A and B are shown apart, each in its own frame.
Chain A
Amino acid sequence: MYQVAKATFIRNTLVMIRAYALSFVIGHILSGVYTVLFAYFAYQYVFAGQLDAQFARFSGSDDYLSYAILGGAFYAFAVSTLMNVSRSLITELREGTLEALLLTPSARHGYFMGNVLQQMMRTIMEFAVILTVGALFGLTLQQANVWGGIAVWILSTAAFFCQALVLGSLMLRFRDTYITQNTLFVIMAFVSGVTFPIPYLPEWLWPISQIMPLTPALDMFRQCVILGKPLADCLPQLLHLGVLSLIYLVVGAWGIRRMEKRVLETIFG
């Protein structure tokens, strides 16, 4: 499994460097900068630095800039992981390499792990840019529980990976990437507490936010990084993330196997 993961990691990195080396770096830096600027301008010029009393109650802090910048950074991280993993098989299908891949006796989880690890390399870079630029625009990390934040980040990678399996199954089912992924990403951005706490949403939307792994992951991350809480204080969110991951993993693994078979039958049938 590790050999397949390593080989896939190297392959993806080589393809990435050859395909869009410069635009990749610039694109990720810019997307990080835009995230920060959006939060900054919204706070300074739309809200005029004013927050209602409920914000502090809902989020546990009145530091909106840190809240929004970290939300944007974590959302970008979730989207990148979801997109990279879920699109991997359909990209193989489109590029004509799926058959060659499925012909091999390699473990599929090794293949996905390689994709995730390669994605982590990208997101670490993007995350670093957002934090650096964010520091210039009001992100404060003085109280941060760094190790707690890193632990949440790693756990979240696993959770997003599980969710990506389900998304990947849907992409293979509908032979579509654009509509499927963007529908999910828009909903995630709206309901998962990226730029504002979930209680601001109408109550009927709350259940949707609870099925997104981004919701507990982001909550935990903020608790550790903004409020400096230990991870042990985030047990309910940890449990929430664990249950969601397990459900997505079971459904996703089943779905990917089924859709791989379906795709092959459809191609040759």
Chain B
Amino acid sequence: MLIVENVRKVYRVKEKNGWFSGKWTEVEAVADLSFRMEPGKIIGLLGINGAGKTTTIKMCSTLLTPTSGTITVDGYDAVRHDRLVKSRVNMIAGGERMLYWRLTARENLQYFGSLYGLAGSELRERIQSLLTQVDLLDAADTPVERYSKGMKQRLQIARGLINDPRYLFLDEPTLGLDAPIARQLRKHVKELASERGKAILLTSHYIQEVEELCDEVYIINKGRLVAHDTPAHLTQSLSQQTTLHVEIPALGDTLDHDLRQLALRHGGSLDISLTPEQSWEITLSAKMDLTAPLLSLLAAHQSAVLRLHTKQPTLEDVILHMADRRGA
């Protein structure tokens, strides 16, 4: 198990003041953060830019040293036993970095495999298996510089798995990828956890990706943990309201009155406005979904419905809500 306990990371940043002078200031990127990664589970680390997600991943993968707190991987301290930890973890970042473009996919994997102490038939077999998994076998001996973005990203996944890590950190893995390729990658990530028992930590700006993949989500804001739960629970418990948008051709006084009563009964809010097309737009927000009672009411008044749109809260709303609340 990977355990992060009360980890804090402070950067010393020099603010330049002219050519030769400057002032050192401390910036707290991560504060008192704790979480766990367990085999077979995918956890999401979410937050708006500068929340401390990448810093957290870099600390977990031994690239950065925490200012205080501890990170242990299968009982080994990530700072004192960094080599042992490095052999158990790996990281895959979005974009086209972390590969040697002049080498082929096979040569890249051979090189990185050697850096992890793999050799001979073990390395050859693993490379073959990984290239098959990421569907790059046909392009295995083509230099990476001739690869498409999606192919590079798939090779990154193979590189991240070359040491068969127990813990995998995915930092924006589908960044800039086309939808079909991103979907294929998500499927692969899911399989890594469910079929191969990898513990995966994912950061992504694509909230749907997090909702689809993650068993648990940690939301951090300015380096601090602000919420932790399953994506479904987070959207339910922290959601504000369900909002209905209905467009009708005509609005009589009685219907207007009944609509206001409906909103009042459910502690919701109602807004009615005339559209440029001379129809009426009703916006009804409440803690519960009022689609059924609203449609019944409109049917009772024999009102036609030109358009109906329901807006459920998403994980994105939760993150923005959290960030706003903390920022306020």
- Mark A residues whose CB is within 8 Å of B: 3-4, 6-8, 10-11, 14-15, 18-19, 95-97, 99-106, 261, 264-265, 268-269
Contacts and interface: CB of A to CB of B under 8 A. Distances in A.
Contacts of A106: 114-117
Given A264-B63, A268-B64, A103 B90 contact: yes
Interface string B48-74: 000000110010011111000000000
16 contacts: A3-B114, A4-B115, A7-B110, A7-B114, A11-B100, A11-B111, A97-B97, A97-B99, A99-B63, A99-B98, A103-B86, A103-B89, A104-B116, A106-B116, A261-B65, A268-B29
B112 A3 contact: no
Contacts, number: 90
Most chain B beta-carbon neighbours within 10 Å: one of A3, A4, A15, A268? A268
A102 B103 CA distance: 19
B112 A269 contact: no
B11 interface: yes
A96 B114 contact: no
Most chain B beta-carbon neighbours within 10 Å: one of A8, A97, A261? A97
B304 interface: no
A30 to B, nearest CB: 23
Contact of A264 (B58, B82, B111): B58
B83 A11 contact: no
Interface string B9-36: 0011100000000000001010000000
A104 B97 contact: no
Contacts of B93: 99
A21 to B, nearest CB: 11
A7 B54 CA distance: 30
Nearest to B90: A103
Given A11-B103, A96-B96, A105-B86, 10 more contacts: A11-B100, A14-B107, A95-B100, A96-B95, A100-B159, A103-B62, A103-B90, A104-B115, A105-B84, A261-B65
A10 B84 CA distance: 26
Nearest to B61: A103
Given A97-B99, A269-B11, A269-B13, A11 B61 contact: no
By size class, the interface of chain B is 35 or more
A7 B117 CA distance: 10
A105 B87 contact: yes
Contacts of A103: 61-63, 86, 89-91
B301 interface: no
Interface in B75-109: 82-84, 86-87, 89-91, 93, 95-103, 107
A50 B114 CA distance: 57
B88 to A, nearest CB: 9
B143 interface: yes
A97 B13 contact: no
B119 interface: yes
A11 B86 contact: no
Contacts of B83: 105
A107 to B, nearest CB: 9
A14 B105 CA distance: 13
Contacts of A268: 11, 29, 54-55, 58, 63-64
Contact of A7 (B64, B101, B111): B111
Given A103-B63, A261-B65, A269-B13, A15 B112 contact: no
A101 B82 CA distance: 14
A135 to B, nearest CB: 36
Contacts of A100: 97-99, 112, 159
Contacts of B117: 3, 105-106
Contacts of B101: 95
Contacts of B96: 96
B116 A265 contact: no
Most chain B beta-carbon neighbours within 10 Å: one of A11, A19, A103, A268? A103
A18 B87 CA distance: 31
B19 to A, nearest CB: 15
A105 B88 CA distance: 10
A264 B59 CA distance: 11
8 nearest A-B pairs in the assembled complex, by CB-CB distance: A96-B97, A7-B114, A269-B11, A104-B115, A100-B98, A105-B86, A106-B115, A105-B83
A27 to B, nearest CB: 18
A180 B119 CA distance: 38
B116 A97 contact: no
B91 A99 contact: yes
A111 to B, nearest CB: 8
A178 to B, nearest CB: 20
